[in-house]
């Protein structure tokens, strides 16, 4: 790995370290270390779920993060088929220190009182957050975006983050996946914010005419960019027609059902014979992964905390979404980055 890639990994680890502390705090609140300590031997996901009162969907994501970081161990039961129940979870020397009669209370104190600490909570998880379970009492999925209306300062900071991330992610896409843009005359960047990403792509591949597509209030603040047209709209209603549509860091914010809706709108916007949808997002590898896996899992915890039903997805979960949305095939290109590039064809 070169120096720049190594630095990219380290900064993600540092920035997402806060997520790690929040997940450990949540694990203690749920009583995961105590449940395992009190159980006679390793536990399956369903046994853990019953012991702590947390749905298996969100608990699987929590345990995926914690085992990757060495808090617990995951062992394969060879006598069962390859599903979530084919794994056992067991204690480590570290997790044994996180029980309520040892260092667990100290970690909770370091996180601060509940009124001041942000991130995942045991209460949220027990109610079904992050599990994929349909909860009629759950708030609308766009509550995360609506909160910016009452906190303009945070919205400005968030926009700065999105612009910075767009530069980093788009640079990786240009360097590692230039062939993905061959033959594209018109490209729509859905949810492109102020157009940083599409502007970089048009400059790198000058044969492309770019369309930056986002909500009216976002487009209103966008500055002119050579080769890029700013278009206001709503991706849940329609997407501008083009040879190809790009979704960069969009779909992980939304539930499977809404992702399918978005993908169908994108599919309607491209030619049935030559079009494609380019998805730039993380792909979780549960079988080992690479040097970016820890950052991807930490981002999954952040997404679980910040959104209602968003999540980072495995390659199988991406394939299922694309199949339901009506795409006939797709390819995956991994990069030296937290994201990968999926190209989906009608």
Residues marked active site are found at 252
- Tell me how far apart the 2 most distant CA atoms of the chain are, in Å: 66
Task: Kindly list the strands in the beta sheet with 244-248, ordered across the sheet, starting from the edge strand earlier in the chain.
Answer: 228-232, 209-214, 186-190, 244-248, 276-281, 340-345, 329-334
Nearest-angstrom CA–CA distance, 35 and 312 = 27
- For tokens 């009608």, what's the residue? 346
Distance between alpha carbon 147 and the CA centroid of its chain, in Å?
Answer: 19
Per the structure block, which two tokens stand in for 13? 């680890």
Nearest to 40 by CA among 75, 82, 84, 88: 88
CA distance 213 to 229: 8
Burial of 283 (0-12, 13-18, 19+ CB in 10 A): buried
Burial of 201 (0-12, 13-18, 19+ CB in 10 A): buried
């Amino acid at each position: 790995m070169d120096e720049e890639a190594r630095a990219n990994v380290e900064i993600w680890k540092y920035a997402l370290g806060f997520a790690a502390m929040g997940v450990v705090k949540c694990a203690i609140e749920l009583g995961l270390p105590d449940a395992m300590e009190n159980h006679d031997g390793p536990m399956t996901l369903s046994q853990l779920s019953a012991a702590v009162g947390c749905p298996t969907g969100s608990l699987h994501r929590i345990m995926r993060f914690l085992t990757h970081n060495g808090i617990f161990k995951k062992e394969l039961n060879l006598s069962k088929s390859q599903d979530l129940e084919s794994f056992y979870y067991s204690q480590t020397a570290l997790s044994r220190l996180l029980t309520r009669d040892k260092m667990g209370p100290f970690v909770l104190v370091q996180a601060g009182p509940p009124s001041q600490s942000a991130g995942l909570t045991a209460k949220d998880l027990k109610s079904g957050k992050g599990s994929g379970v349909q909860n009629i009492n759950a708030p609308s999925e766009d509550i995360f975006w609506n909160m910016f209306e009452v906190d303009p300062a945070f919205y400005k900071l968030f926009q700065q983050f999105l612009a910075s991330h767009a530069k980093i992610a788009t640079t990786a896409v240009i360097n590692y996946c230039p062939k993905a843009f061959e033959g594209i005359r018109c490209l729509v960047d859905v949810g492109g914010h102020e157009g940083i990403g599409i502007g970089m792509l048009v400059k790198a591949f000058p044969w492309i005419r770019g369309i930056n597509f986002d909500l009216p209030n976002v487009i209103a603040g966008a500055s002119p960019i050579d080769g890029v047209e700013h278009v206001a709209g709503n991706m849940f209603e329609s997407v501008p027609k083009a040879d190809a549509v790009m979704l960069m860091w969009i779909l992980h914010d939304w539930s499977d059902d809404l992702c399918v809706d978005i993908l169908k709108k994108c599919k309607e916007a491209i030619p049935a014979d030559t079009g494609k949808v380019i998805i730039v997002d993380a792909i979780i590898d549960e079988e080992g992964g690479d040097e970016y896996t820890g950052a991807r899992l930490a981002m999954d915890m952040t997404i679980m905390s910040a959104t209602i039903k968003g999540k980072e997805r495995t390659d199988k979960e991406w394939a299922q979404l694309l199949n339901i949305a009506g795409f006939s095939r797709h390819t995956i290109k991994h990069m030296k980055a937290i994201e990968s590039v999926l190209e989906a064809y009608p």
